[in-house]
Amino acid sequence: MEACGILRPGPMSNDSHLPLAPRDLLILSVLAEGPLHGYGIIKAVEARSQAGVLLDPANLYRVLRRMRGLGWIQEAEPKAVVAGDTRRRTYEVAPEGRTLLAAELARLERLLDQARPALARGRGE
């Protein structure tokens, strides 16, 4: 979760979507680093989660379509393309998605803050 350091917690805007599904959280967080196309997303998610393929292509685009519909992400301008095939569609986080991600991270941090002492106490006894 080091990468989360660059994000500042913002105002809670869209509580109804919290908590985020792990898959959505992962996709949002890799896109928060910069625009990516589908293949890039899968690669990044894999690198981050250190697990095998979490998403198969058809499912990925289904998720992306839904997130786009909710306004969390948007298609990036062609000039924003970093690497890879220029013809490929790339996605970036929309402002609303960024807010949501921040809110979710804040929620998780609170949760961790509460959980860690409990674990420490349990170990001490």
Give residues in contact with other proteins (CB under 8 A).
Answer: 37-39, 42, 52-53, 56-62, 65-66, 69-70, 85, 88-89
CB 106 → other proteins: shortest distance, Å? 26
Report whether 20 contacts 104 (CB < 8 A): yes
Of 53 and 111, the one with the shorter C-beta distance to other proteins is: 53
CB 71 → other proteins: shortest distance, Å? 9
Residues whose CB falls within 8 Å of the CB of residue 56, separated by 6 or more in sequence, listed in order: none
73-75 β-sheet, strand order: 36-37, 90-93, 73-75
CA dihedral 35, 4, 63, 95 (to 10 degrees): -60
CB 37 → other proteins: shortest distance, Å? 8
Of 10 and 38, the one with the shorter C-beta distance to other proteins is: 38
Of 58 and 119, the one with the shorter C-beta distance to other proteins is: 58
